[in-house]
Amino acid sequence: MILALDFGGTKHTAGVILPGGQAWLKHEQVLSPSNPDAAYDLETMIQLGRRLLEGPKPQAVGVSFGGPVDALSGTVRLSHHVPGWEGIRLASLLEGAFGAPVSVDNDANVAALGEQRFGAGQGLSSIFYITISTGVGGGWILDGCVWRGWDGMAGEIGHTTIDPDGPLCLCGKRGCVERLASGPYMAQDARQRLQADPACGAIMRRLCGGDLDAIDGALVSRAATQGDELASELLQRSAWAIGTGIGNAANLINPQRFILGGGVTKSGDIWWETVRQVAMETALPEVRIEIVPAALGDDAPLWGAVALVMDIDRS
């Protein structure tokens, strides 16, 4: 049996599957407490894995981690959400706990691999998977393998610059794709505009019941669908940013397919049409562009963790 583990920011998921299997034998998710730390997360995951395995050793363990990882050594660099992860040798610790070989990579790379082996990228050798939710990040499959880059930092489309006069991002630069496209930033900009101009955004005000702090990316999308002009403007800008980022990536690397997942991709047809239109306009005419929704949803990292381990078997 193969054990797949997904360390997320707010929840952890584990699954058990037979080698070559197409369905989970077992699959379980647990939510993190409100103030998690690395030791607690690790212990929770080991317990969860043992419960699913019910005794026998797994053949291998594949792991998706929600933050930068040195995939070669299986060491976590840090978690953006949970303290205490810096320098933790996650692969070694899990090898000790489960008595089996362990392979670890960050969630964007693992999700890309999951979509390529089991989802919207099956049969393709080059894809770029992009997740657009709290942040905007991506993972490359090139020549059938995860492309990590020299520092393991490849795929950071969220912090490519596309507008030098754009709003300031937490990273210190102006006009990053993430600053223009992510759910929290859309919500932040909506709140500021609603505070500054009492006449605008009637539908957003109604949907949040007057509590501007309750506005999130999903609410902006919903308000746009119902005809709110400010919400539509922000959603269009998000789609423009993603489309421009994809067009630029297509000109640079020209992969076979772009696969998009994450909450913001559930914003409806106008968002998708704008992304596709802008990406086509940004790429040179000779560059084919195919942009499709992710097929595996929240389980993409878990399926990718299985694929990581299949790769170990092969080598």
Window 130-149: contact mask with its own copies (x via CB under 8 A): --------x-x-xx---xxx
CB contact burial 266-297 (16+ within 10 A = b; e otherwise): ebeeebbebbbebbbebbeeeeebebbebbbe
Query: Please, what is the minimum distance in Å from the beta carbon of residue 223 to its own copies?
Result: 25
Check binding of 252 to its own copies (CB under 8 A).
yes
C-alpha–C-alpha distance, residues 274 and 278, integer Å: 6
Count of C-beta atoms within a 10 Å radius of residue 186: 26
Check binding of 214 to its own copies (CB under 8 A).
no
Strand duo 75-76 + 102-106: pairing: unpaired
Check binding of 287 to its own copies (CB under 8 A).
yes
Check binding of 123 to its own copies (CB under 8 A).
no
Which lies closer to its own copies via its Cβ, residue 172 or residue 210? 172
Query: Please, what is the minimum distance in Å from the beta carbon of residue 137 to its own copies?
Result: 10
> Are residues 64 and 110 in contact, defined by beta-carbon separation less than 8 angstroms?
yes
Q: Which residue from 27, 50, 67, 68 is in contact with its own copies, where contact means CB under 8 A? A: 68
The span of 19-27, 43-51, 163-171, 213-221 binding its own copies (CB under 8 A) equals 163-171
Window 164-193: contact mask with its own copies (x via CB under 8 A): xx-----xxx--------------------
Q: Which residues within the stretch 17-56 sit at the binding site for its own copies (CB under 8 A)?
A: none
Check binding of 75 to its own copies (CB under 8 A).
no
Check binding of 282 to its own copies (CB under 8 A).
yes
DSSP codes, 117-137:
HHSTTTT-S-EEEEEESSSEE
Which lies closer to its own copies via its Cβ, residue 85 or residue 140? 140
Phi and psi (nearest 5°) for 247?
A: -60, -45
CA 203 centroid distance within chain:
29
Residue 145 Cα distances to 8, 251, 276, angstroms: 23, 20, 26
